[in-house]
Amino acid sequence: MSAIILFMAGIAAIAGWWLSQQRLTAKPWLEEGLMVDFREESTSSLPPAKIGLGVFLAVVGSLFALFISAYSMRMNMVDWRALPVPRLLWFNTGVLVTSSIALQWAYMAARRNDIDGVMIGLCAGGASAVTFLVGQLLAWRQLNAAGYFLASNPANSFFYLITAVHGLHLMGGLAALGRTTAKVWRGAEATQVRLSTELCAIYWHFLLLVWLVLLGLLTGWTDDFLDICRRLLT
Residues found near other proteins in the complex (CB under 8 A): 1, 4-5, 8, 11-12, 15, 19, 22-29, 31-35, 38-39, 41-49, 51-52, 55-56, 58-59, 62-63, 66-67, 69-70, 73-74, 77-80, 150-151, 154, 157-158, 161, 165, 192-193, 195-196, 234
What CA–CA distances, in Å, run from 92 to 20, 69, 113, 178, 230?
41, 24, 31, 21, 30
Closest to other proteins by CB, 4 or 103: 4
Closest to other proteins by CB, 66 or 130: 66
For the bound state, the minimum distance from the C-beta of residue 87 to other proteins, rounded and expressed in Å, comes to 25
Tell me the three state secondary structure of residue 116.
helix
Q: Report how far residue 133's alpha carbon sits from residue 170's, in angstroms, rounded to the nearest whole number.
A: 8
For the bound state, the minimum distance from the C-beta of residue 56 to other proteins, rounded and expressed in Å, comes to 6
What CA–CA distances, in Å, run from 72 to 86, 207, 208?
21, 20, 21
For the bound state, the minimum distance from the C-beta of residue 90 to other proteins, rounded and expressed in Å, comes to 26
Closest to other proteins by CB, 41 or 116: 41
For the bound state, the minimum distance from the C-beta of residue 34 to other proteins, rounded and expressed in Å, comes to 5
How buried is 159 (Cβ within 10 angstroms: 0-12 exposed, 13-18 middle, 19+ buried)? Answer: buried
Q: Report how far residue 180's alpha carbon sits from residue 97's, in angstroms, rounded to the nearest whole number.
A: 20
